[in-house]
Each structure stands twice: as structure tokens, then as C-alpha cells.
Structure 1
Amino acid sequence: MTADSGFEILLVTFPGLEEELKAEAKSLGFRPVETITGGVLLHGGWPDVWRANLRLRGVSKVLIRIGSFRAFHLAQLDKRARKMPWTEVLRPDQPVRIEVTCKGSRIYHAGAAAERIGRAITEELGAPVSEDAAVCVKVRIHNDVCTVSLDTSGDGLHKRGHKEAVNRAPMRETMAALFLRQCGYTGAEPVLDPMCGSGTFPIEAAEIACGLFPGRSRRFAFEDLATFDPAAWQALQAMEKPRQTALVFRGSDRDPGAVRMSQDNAARAGLESCTEFTQQTVSELQRPEGPPGLVILNPPYGTRIGDRKKLTGLYRAIGQTMTERFSGWRVGIITTDAVLARATGLPFAQTGGPVLHGGLRVSLYLTTALG
């Protein structure tokens, strides 16, 4: 890799939502090369890496390819690791973490491989190896080919820097952003989540409508790399142009703790003026004043035998409330179970393949505007 000619960048995302991330990347002027399982590949330089971390809402991590080579045994791995361009990207005063996976290779012990690569970095560059370092070198040894990448993000990009409290089994902001995109949401309509948990959907929708960058409030691992340019980074951050919106983004939940949690999270994101959270059940929900928009929710989906029967009543109540009170609104429900989605009685079409979420496979079911 060289800074002048560019390098391969991998935008990591949830398997099943690659096309949505690719579309988002294109909308921001990136030029995706191809989609692979769990990611989108593009070719670019360091400004593209910084901008991807700052602005892409649906990306989980931004990795760059440092290089690859064949290695059939640990001594060969050690020798070739020392020839990698560590000095071009890493700083000798910043500790690094090494993560190795091995599959179908004569080098099969990940811990031993990580020890050799860490030693090579320390002896060639001077950077110490630490298990809790923010900078992470990721190594994949597959069919005797060693691919070395660098995690430029640090903490997962769903950590926007605003949410201190989350409810049980929360949906990550990155996934919520891609489901909103799958619904055709652009920021031009109100959004309501009647089972809001920690407020992820309304807050994410409000940020889009207000033109806020998802990474505006956090640090990234690339700030600790040798390639970091503080002046160029500040110029990218200054491109954010927040705007006022007349729309209101609402959430409700039967749990008062969830409502308080959502209010606090919205306040930390600077979105108090355009968000509203109330305590109520789905059956108590009334259509808000103003233009129609999108109702999106991630209700419970049972994973044990008998759960479906218990949850059918809840899904039926959701459908009844939407049908009776939300004419003109679109409805999106994320669930593992097509039978539960049908129990709503709403005219859903499954919009895409299943997406892995918390070990389960979920799908978005979306209506057109209700009559």
C-alpha cells in the first residue's frame, strides 16, 4: 500500500445489508468497487478513510488492507511480517493490539501467530503490544495466505458518543440507519417508534433530518496513526452543516425507564427540540398531528417454543392500531418470524434477505402508505 496510489478499504457491515451500505456510500461520493459478504470494498486514500468513519451511518468498522503474503510456518510468518510497511502507518509511541484468525492453513495456532507478528512490529518499529490498545492490527490466515489489515475505527461505529444507557437487546445505530434506508427514509418525513427502547430509531432519523454527522462526537483509532493529519481532519469535520427541521421524531414505550433513557440519549445528541418520548402502550398510541411519515419498530420476537402464541396478540394489536389510526403512514416491522408479521394483518412485503442480529436472523417487513 502507498498513500499516493491509494489502497483497498473495507467498509464492514451486517451480512444482508451490504447493498444498503453500498447505496449510502455512493450517495456520499464514494466509489464502491464491489460488495462481499459482510462488507463493501472501495479504493481510496486516507481522506476517504477519515470521511467514511465520520459520515457513513451504516458502517460498523472501516478497515484498510496493509498487504498480504504466503506463509507456511511461523518462522516464515515472522520473516515476512518484518517486511510489512509498519513505519508508513503505525507510530512507535502508540501501542498496538494484534488479532489473528486461522482457517485452512498450516499455521493454525492464532496465539502463536499473533505473538510472532507483535514481536516483528515491536522490533522493527518500536511500538509496544498491548491487549487493550486502541490501534488494532487484524490478521487473517486463510489457505496459507496471510492478509494484514488495520482497524481505523477503534470502537464499533455504532458507538456515536451520545448513548450512555441502552435497553435489553438493543438495535445498533448502524443497523437502524440501514433499515431506515431500506424503508426509503431520507429525512423528509416524521418517524415514530411505538416500542422505542433506548430511542435508537427516532434519534437516528432526527440526526439524518438535521444533517448531523454520525461520528461528530467521538474519537477514532486513525487519530493515533502516523498518517493522521489534524488540519485535514478538522476541515472534514467543519463540512457538517446542521439544519433545523420542523418535523418531530417520536418514540413511546410502556416502560417509563425506557422513556427516560430515550430522552437522555436524545439530549446528549443535541436533539431535544425535535424529539418527543412518551410512556404508553401500542394500543394507546394515537396518530400525531402533522404530515404522515414512517412508523418503524423492532418488537419482541420469541425464540422459544410457545413464544409465538404469546406474541401473536401483541402483533395483532400493532396491526389494529396502525390500520385504524395511521392512514397515509408507512409501517416497517423488524422481526424473525413471518408468521408474526402476518398476524398484524398489514399488507407487508419482505424487502430483503434476512440480517444477522444478536445471533438471530431478522427481516424488515414494510407496507406502502396505508389506506
Structure 2
Amino acid sequence: MNAVTLIATAAMGLESIVADEVRDLGYTDLRVENGKVIFEADPSGIARTNLWLRTADRVKLLVGEFKATSFEELFEQTKALPWTNYISKDAEFPVIGKSVKSTLYSVPDCQAIVKKAVVESLKQSHKIEWFEENGPLQRIEVAILKDIVTLTIDTSGTGLHKRGYRYLHNEAPLKETLAAAMIKLTNWNADKPFVDPFCGSGTLPIEAAMIGQNIAPGVNREFAFEHWDWYKKEWFDFALQEAEDLAKYDQPLNILGSDIDHKMIELATNNATEAGFPDQINFKQMQAKDFTTKDEYGVVVGNPPYGERLNEKGYVENLYRELGRTFRPLETWSIYFITSNEHFEKLYGAKATKKRKLYNGNIRTDFYQFWGKRPPKK
């Protein structure tokens, strides 16, 4: 197998960041669409992208794409695809689906027809009549948009935001992929201090530490493709060795995560240890308004409470005013906050240099960016 077409799925608003990550891995033959980045790779790219993509949700293997406006077309064209190249005799291959603005709008019917077509294709190839489906998971997705059918196999298994370090978290955790995207948007690097004044379970500081030391976010977890019969172990071993060679474990880090709740500090400390940073991140119980620094330059990234509940409104508005009084004077620091509160700039007391629409789960938010003065060029 010389080449495969892969699809890295992305939350709304993060497609360009995912595309940059794909290019950084050397895959330049790509196109960006709503919610996904499509690109060509050799088979080792399945392992490399799953290991390295910090801001993508999943990596899917494209099996085929075609137009279908009838169930007969869906069945015949699905059956004609080379399923035997990817799905083994014992594989478990459930079918999930979605349909948007298409003639074939019944998702359960489409799933059933695709499943039947794949079974018929595999019967002919594997020369058997019954599939036990007690082997590795190879989940198929049928996605239909404006009558164009896209058939993929999920290579990731659990979503890529599951890095493997956050066994416990607070009630409203920031998704690891969104946290990484927020840090990417700051252009922070390990030469500067990084501060999260609302660290919760530690997601932003831990993601910053992984970025700062160039550690692949997927090195401590499993993926679906690892268990596939056709996927060579040497491809995965190559990707793992590459990740190990590129990691900068000796890179010093100046990262602070603080929170008003001592239980969150304990939780964040435990998660950081699980992620491999037992001593590299400093966690401190502290109110955001008490932050002070002697460092001339640095970056603050925070996910403060949004005040979506009525009983929180007054508290949050006062908190945002305090944030302004604390961080506005830091003219050489760059400050970034994400919130759904439309009055943030007014309460903070300054207009953002730039703001970007992002989605925290299903909540539409803005990422407010207050750029500090740049250090003089050396």
C-alpha cells in the first residue's frame, strides 16, 4: 500500500490550525473544508497524525466518495469499494452515519444498507458467509452531504482529545484539543513564562508543557489502527521513534497554573504527574487578582467562568473587572481569555487587539487577545 487519503476532523473554527499542524508534519497535498482537513499520506501517516495532531478530533481513513440519490446506488457503489484491503475477517465493523441536505435522509436506513453492502463485499473477498465480528474495531462512517456520500474508517478509536493523563477533572473541563488550539493561537514558546489563572484540572498548563517540550500528545494512549491486521507494526514503531527523537525533555519550562480552589490544585498536580510533568509545572492556590510577576515578558491564557447561570452574573462581572485591573498594566505581556460573555471587553476595560470565534463544546465563545509589546530584536 503506497498511499492513503486521510481526513482529520476538527471543531468549528479550528480547521486552519489543524491544517497548519498537518503541513508541519510534511503533508502539503491537502484541502480544508468545514470541520475537516483532507490530505494524502503514506500508511505511516496514520500513526504520525494520530500521535502528533494536537487540535484535531479524529483521523479517518477515506475508503470512497460518490454521489447517490437512491438506496440502490448507495448499496452498489459501497459494495464496489475495496473493503477487503482494510477490514479483516474477524473485525468488528459497526456503521454510524449522518445525512445533511440529501435525498437519502434516513440515517438508520443508510447505515443498514452500507453495512449490508460491506458484508456482501467481504463475503466475496474472504470467501466466508458469516462474520463473528469479535476482532479489532474498525468503525465505518457513512456521511452524506448534498447527495455526496463519504465512507471512512475511524483510525483513532477514542477521540484524540483523550491524551491519557486526565483521569479526573472538574465539572466543566476544557477539552484538550481546544486548550492546545488556544495556546497555538498565542504563538507562545518555552522561552517565555506561561500563566493560567483559572487552571481547574490543569489542562492548559499541561498542554503548554507538551508544546514547550515538543512532546507528541498521543504517545501515552492507544489507537484503533494499532490492532488492525493490515497495519504494519513497523509503521507505528517508526512514528513512535520519531516522536521520541523530536521530544525536548530537557527544555526548561516556566509554567504557572493557579486556581482559587485548593481541590483543583491537587487535581491539576496529579494530572500533571500522570502526564509526565511532576516538577516542571508550578501549581498554586491563588485568586487571579493576586497575580504579580517580575518577568518582563510572558503569556497569560485563561478560561474564566462565563456567568451563564443567573446567580453567577454579578460575581463574574466583578471578576472580569478585577482581571482588567490585574492584567491591563502588564503592557509587555500578551493576555488571552476565552468566554461566552459578550460584555467581556467592557468589563475588562480594554478593547481586544483581536478576537476569534471558538466553540467550547456547544457553547459559542470568543477568544479575546490582548497583544503586549514585543521584546526588542536581539
On whether the aligned pair clears a TM of 0.5, the verdict is: yes
What corresponds to 2:269 in structure 1?
263
What corresponds to 2:193 in structure 1?
190
Question: Are 2:363 and 1:360 aligned?
Answer: yes
Q: Which runs of 5+ in 1 are unaligned?
A: none
C-alpha separation between the residues in 1 aligned to 2:32 and 2:71? 32
Distance 1:143 1:207, change over 3 A: closer
- Give, in angstroms, the shift of residue 301 of structure 1: 1.2
Question: Are 2:223 and 1:220 aligned?
Answer: yes
Determine which of 341, 345, 364 is the counterpart of 2:349: 345
CA contact (8 A) 2:190 2:251 kept: no
Paired residue type of 1:312: E
Determine which of 278, 283, 300 is the counterpart of 2:284: 278
Determine which of 54, 62, 67 is the counterpart of 2:64: 67
Task: Give the alignment of 1:111-150 within 5 angstroms.
Answer: 111-125=108-122, 127-128=131-132, 134-150=137-153
CA contact (8 A) 1:162 1:265 kept: yes
Of all paired residues, the percent bearing the same amino acid is: 28
**TM-score (normalizing by structure 1):** 0.90
CA contact (8 A) 1:91 1:224 kept: no
CA contact (8 A) 1:189 1:291 kept: no
- Give, in angstroms, the shift of residue 127 of structure 1: 4.7
CA contact (8 A) 2:31 2:39 kept: yes
CA contact (8 A) 1:311 1:340 kept: no
Distance 1:347 1:218, change over 3 A: same
Paired residue type of 2:359: L
Question: Are 2:96 and 1:99 aligned?
Answer: yes
Distance 1:160 1:119, change over 3 A: same
What corresponds to 2:259 in structure 1?
253
C-alpha separation between the residues in 2 aligned to 1:133 and 1:47? 19
Paired residue type of 1:207: M
Paired residue type of 1:13: A
Q: Which runs of 5+ in 2 are unaligned?
A: 123-129
Question: Are 2:81 and 1:84 aligned?
Answer: yes
Paired residue type of 1:297: G
CA contact (8 A) 1:97 1:129 kept: no
C-alpha separation between the residues in 2 aligned to 1:38 and 1:308? 33
C-alpha separation between the residues in 1 aligned to 2:96 and 2:65? 15
Question: Are 2:204 and 1:204 aligned?
Answer: no
Matched residue SS, 1:273: coil
C-alpha separation between the residues in 1 aligned to 2:52 and 2:264? 28
CA contact (8 A) 1:121 1:127 kept: no
- Give, in angstroms, the shift of residue 290 of structure 1: 5.0
- Give, in angstroms, the shift of residue 21 of structure 1: 2.0
User: Comparing 167-176 with 136-145, which one deviates more in the overlay?
Assistant: 136-145
Distance 1:364 1:97, change over 3 A: same
Determine which of 334, 338, 353 is the counterpart of 1:334: 338
Determine which of 235, 239, 243 is the counterpart of 1:236: 239
What corresponds to 2:32 in structure 1?
35
Distance 1:308 1:56, change over 3 A: same
Paired residue type of 1:362: T
Distance 1:72 1:336, change over 3 A: same
C-alpha separation between the residues in 2 aligned to 1:165 and 1:186? 27
Question: Are 2:153 and 1:156 aligned?
Answer: no
Distance 1:85 1:296, change over 3 A: same
- Give, in angstroms, the shift of residue 129 of structure 1: 5.7
Paired residue type of 1:145: I
Query: Which string of whole-angstrom CA distances, capped at 9 and with x for unpartnered residues, describes residues 195-243 of structure 1?
Result: 1011111101111111211010111111233431112211210112332
CA contact (8 A) 2:158 2:223 kept: yes
Distance 1:253 1:52, change over 3 A: same
Distance 1:252 1:228, change over 3 A: same
Distance 1:35 1:124, change over 3 A: closer
CA contact (8 A) 1:88 1:226 kept: no
C-alpha separation between the residues in 2 aligned to 1:64 and 1:150? 5
Paired residue type of 2:348: T
Aligned residues: 364
CA contact (8 A) 1:73 1:107 kept: yes
- Give, in angstroms, the shift of residue 306 of structure 1: 7.5
User: Comparing 306-315 with 231-240, which one deviates more in the overlay?
Assistant: 306-315
Paired residue type of 1:271: F
CA contact (8 A) 1:98 1:129 kept: no
Question: Are 2:326 and 1:321 aligned?
Answer: yes
- Give, in angstroms, the shift of residue 344 of structure 1: 1.5
C-alpha separation between the residues in 2 aligned to 1:232 and 1:204? 26
**TM-score (normalizing by structure 2):** 0.88
- Give, in angstroms, the shift of residue 305 of structure 1: 5.8
CA contact (8 A) 2:205 2:256 kept: yes
What corresponds to 1:174 in structure 2?
177
Question: Are 2:304 and 1:299 aligned?
Answer: yes
C-alpha separation between the residues in 1 aligned to 2:31 and 2:190? 27
CA contact (8 A) 2:97 2:107 kept: yes
C-alpha separation between the residues in 1 aligned to 2:311 and 2:77? 56
